[in-house]
Structure 1
């Protein structure tokens, strides 16, 4: 909540004006029953039409002022709430983009999505309601009590006797309500996760006829969320009937006591009518306080979840280190790594690449191929060992300076819902000539020119309106476009035929000399001409050398090569 106050602080002036206007409108509402009582008890008995019209005009004026000021104040409150939420959402999005992969893994993507959407909405509701009802309801409550004290002190005591019980109801329910809303938001996180999994894997689900299974899984998660929402809603909803019971009990007592006092001549009828009006105002004010209490319970739970993200400190901090001139472009020195507190994914990995050399990485699924790339780009820090680029440790290079060195095609890369040109350019100031050259090198130019609109042709999100091979070539063009210092291709040619794959490797070898390349692939043909090939098994290096060396020294590599290329001279070349 403290962080939320820092977002509200720049709008303190506008909020002060809005609250002043709201105060004036609320006072006008409070004056109406008092004017009515004065007319009934003091003006009507005089039979002076002019005074009746004058006081009636005062009531009309107060009503108009109440409506106008409340509308103005509500519009200003909505504007402040909108701006605060916009800035909060923007900062939250920026923070999420700057989180390390480890932090994202810990928080989970569905939870971050829910915090950016549902939680910011709940916070917006709280900020707006606090400005609209947070001023009006307390003023109506306190002002109503003070005015009724001047009208009829005895009846006011009956009202005041009810208020402590109402306070106990609000405090008691709030202690149970806020934790329940936190659990509800956690259920929303889980629901979002299941939806994301189903949308991303819809083709697999359909192909394996698992639609019914996924529907049942969603139904379980949905029912659990409904159960949590119901429990939270029932707990919070108990405040309304409890407050109504207490306030209506007080109203009944007031009517009974008031009737005896009027019959005894101790109270005027106008005062009783005004008192009943004020009691209704106080009742509505209490209901408003209850509504604020519900919205604040949800909003404060959401604000804590947002603050949990915003208060995260950078866990991949820069570490000062002296560069070492080894002549290597990339160097892994006894690197080990484990995700979280789990088992090591990489164990004692060492290799070095000279500028312009190519490294091929091969291994079974889960052997740590992509993990090596993540460590090189410093998505994570190794648990042991060190990684250097041009003699500098990667943890001493600023992220912007480090990441600009790479051109990357990830194993499951993203095509955005935009034009082909923007997908390749990706916000970088690259000329059209450079984009066409990159597309040609990636063997993508022919299919791009064949599409209606060419580079202006629109692609759907995830590239569902192009084939898998076309998507991979487009992603390779994106990686090549800025002529990177280090080119990383993580299983980037799995959807390409052998002929296209060969032309791609020839284009990279001829047009990107001096670029250090790391290729992760399952095809021996994609890696056989690499300067170095790293063979991994369960996170350990079981072979490192050229194709010919591994054919002689690494049984696992030789077995794969023979199975893919046959046992003749092709496998040994």
Structure 2
């Protein structure tokens, strides 16, 4: 409303100027000069107030749109399943959240306003100009008519160009993100020059794509400006002729010369608006592609948020990924509060097996039951809320140690944080200058592998969940610390059903059930004593890891 009122008031100034020239300057009605000047001042002040209101509210509106769009995009990304992130680069998602959303902001903040504003200016100015002199209006329009064709051609070329730029910016961001995140590895292998060269090459390509877009703009903007300037020349020439013949008054020609710019500027803006619209169209397409992605794993219509005690059962389960079987004929039962250890060679399916408990991926046949209920009948929120996971790739946030631990349970007290760190054998935290309030770097840089693992385990302990999964989570610990940690886990007040993936016999020998996997199948199962007595694959691992101890015992 502020924009429309301001725009309508803008059309009064040329009419007042016309009256001053025709009635005061030429007609000699000098007593009207002061009222007309007062009118000009009133219109100017009113437009200033309305203009401020318009700018403020449009910027506020566009900012709200962008905040909402970023919220919706982030919320949708967080809903997507693990499978989506297996093939999507972090850098590309960051480009969508920043570059593409900013392009939408530009379109809403400036483009939307100018489209409405220019359309109203064009229609109102065309009506007044036709009223003043339809012949002169028609002459000017015929000269500017090719601008419409130029605008269509510009839109076609710009949209394709901006899609290429958007795709390449995602690649550029990915390259930068990976190299900054992996800067220690780059330096360790003395690959700085190579990575700098790779980034420079990507950046050069970005320059070329933007230069190509600039060339497109330079091909179309000068003709638009030329045609609009020719319209002004024609207006002066033919308008002057009409004034000399008495068909127009001088005041009308002056008003006409002002209103003609209300036709010219919308047409000149058309090129810029089409360029902005092309950029926005490309960015919206990228964002829309994200929103079209649906989680591959969802709650069924009959799923319910059931309480969980921790019993887990696999029945004849088969899981395929990428067209290949990862797990076949998996069957076993883990009683509530029991410990199940899983061993096997790299790629045997250990992590895939435990990942299916939280429904991070969907299995093809068979079933998994928790407390005798199929997991597809339990809501994802209830299922994962009752699980604690320490992944193989330990991830810590750039925050304090206590904040990382509280990720497991936000309402945990300071005393519970200290207790969880003690149970995780993270005694090193007390030696730090700020203790649990110590801020750690990105992904826990500055901490050793074992220290990061113990903080991650404390995060799982504080959750007090019925099911806990340690995916090779003690690999960086010495055997003494590992023994203390596993002993603490076994005697937790709230006993969890514990799944341990490990490669060391010392980590699994006290488990209630040990599974030996090979090529996605369980080839052996039993307790430590049973498997050693059997003399199979587990026994061979046992002999390999304890052969030095056996040799010393024989020598003694």
Give me the TM-score of the superposition, normalised by structure 2: 0.90
Q: CA deviation at 1:425?
A: 1.6
Give, in angstroms, the shift of residue 244 of structure 1: 0.9
1:185-222 CA-partner distances (Å, limit 9, x unpaired) = 22222222222221222211111112222223323333
CA deviation after TM superposition for structure 1 residue 236, in Å: 4.5
Sort the Cα spacing of 1:493 and 1:251 in 2 relative to 1 into closer, same or farther, 3 A.
Answer: same
Pick which of 107-116 and 368-377 moved more.
107-116
The answer to which of 119-128 and 47-56 deviates more is 47-56
Aligned to 1:247: 228
2:279 to 292, 298, 303: 298
Matches within 5 A, 1:64-463: 64-319=45-300, 320=302, 329-339=311-321, 341-426=322-407, 427-444=409-426, 446-463=427-444
Query: What displacement does 1:174 show?
Result: 1.6
Cα deviations by residue, 1:289-313 (Å, 9 ceiling, x for unpaired): 3333222222233223323333444
- Tell me, in whole angstroms, the C-alpha distance in 1 between the residues paired with 2:365 and 2:180: 38
Shift of 1:31: 2.4
Is the 8 Å Cα contact of residues 321 and 392 (structure 1) preserved in structure 2?
A: no
Asked if the contact 2:310/2:337 (under 8 Å) is kept, the reply is no
Q: Deviations over 1:458-514 (max 9, x none)?
A: 333322243322221111111011222111111211221221111111111222574
**Structural mapping, 1:510-529, within 5 Å:** 510-511=491-492, 514-529=495-510
Aligned equivalents of 1:307 and 1:224: distance in 2?
26
SS at match of 1:227: helix
Give the CA deviation at 1:438.
1.5
Q: Give the whole-Å Cα distance in 2 for the aligned partners of 1:543 and 1:130.
A: 67
Can you list the C-alpha shifts for 1:87-141, whole angstroms capped at 9, x where unaligned?
A: 2211221121111112333554333322222222211221222443122211222
Corresponding residue SS for 1:511: coil
2:19 counterpart residue number: 38
Structure 1: runs of 5 or more not aligned: 1-19
Q: Per-residue deviation at 1:569?
A: 4.1
Cα distance 1:362–1:221, how it changes in 2: closer, same or farther (>3 A)? farther
Q: Within 5 Å, which residues of 2 pair with 1:8-27?
A: 20-27=1-8
Q: What is the match of residue 524 of structure 2? A: 543
Is the contact made by 1:419 and 1:456 (CA closer than 8 Å) also made in structure 2? yes
Cα 1:52/1:321, change in 2 over 3 Å: closer
Shift in Å, 1:550: 4.3
* Aligned mates of 2:550, 2:455 — CA distance in 1: 34
- Cα pair 1:542 1:554 within 8 Å, conserved: no
- Report the Cα distance in structure 2 between the residues aligned to 1:287 and 1:559, rounded to whole angstroms: 80
Deviation readout 1:255-312 (Å, 9 max, x if unpaired): 3323433444443333333322222332222233333322222223322332333344
The secondary structure found in structure 1 opposite 2:491 is: helix
Greater mean alpha carbon deviation, residues 446-455 or residues 400-409: 446-455
Query: Secondary structure of the equivalent of 1:349?
Result: strand
TM-score, normalised with respect to structure 1? 0.88
Question: Does the CA-based 8 Å contact 1:316-1:395 persist in structure 2?
Answer: no
CA change 1:24–1:150 in 2 (3 A) is same
Q: Do the aligned partners of 1:82 and 1:124 also contact (CA within 8 Å) in 2?
A: yes
- On the 8 A contact 1:321/1:393 being kept in 2, the answer is no
The corresponding residue for 1:50 is 31
CA contact (8 A) 1:23 1:135 kept: no
Give the conservation status (yes or no) of the 8 Å contact 1:483–1:512. no
Q: Distance in 2 between matches of 1:564 and 1:412?
A: 24
Q: In structure 1, how many angstroms separate the alpha carbons of the residues matched to 2:38 and 2:84? A: 65
Return closer, same or farther for 1:322/1:486 CA change in 2, 3 Å cut-off.
Answer: closer
1:386 deviation in Å?
A: 1.7
SS at structure 2 position matched to 1:443? coil
Aligned to 1:3: none
Q: How far apart are the structure 2 equivalents of 1:303 and 1:528? A: 55
- Alpha-carbon contact 1:74-1:132 (below 8 Å) kept: no
Equivalent residues of 2:513, 2:526 under 8 A apart: yes
The CA distance in 2 between the partners of 1:183 and 1:140, in whole Å, is 34
Secondary structure (helix, strand or coil) at the match of 2:145 reads helix
Cα distance, 1:553 vs. partner? 5.4
SS state at 1:380 partner: coil
Structure 1 residue 78: deviation in Å?
1.0
Q: What is the aligned residue count?
A: 548
Structure 2 regions of 5+ residues with no counterpart? none
Secondary structure at the aligned position of 2:393 is classed as coil
Give me the whole-angstrom Cα distance separating, in 1, the residues matched to 2:506 and 2:262. Answer: 82
Q: Do the aligned partners of residues 533 and 210 (structure 1) sit closer, same or farther apart at CA in structure 2, a change above 3 Å counting?
A: farther
For the aligned residue pairs, the C-alpha RMSD in angstroms reads 2.8
Residue pair 1:329, 1:391 contacting (<8 A) in 2 also: yes
2-structure distance, mates of 1:226, 1:561: 59
Asked if the contact 2:144–2:231 (Cα under 8 Å) also holds between the matched residues in 1, the reply is: no
C-alpha change, 1:36 and 1:173, in structure 2 (3 Å) is same
Q: Which moved more, 1:461-470 or 1:73-82?
A: 461-470
Shift of 1:237: 5.0
* Secondary structure of residue in 2 paired with 1:566: helix
CA 1:395/1:224 → structure 2, altered by over 3 Å: closer, same or farther? farther
1:379 is displaced (CA, Å) by 0.9
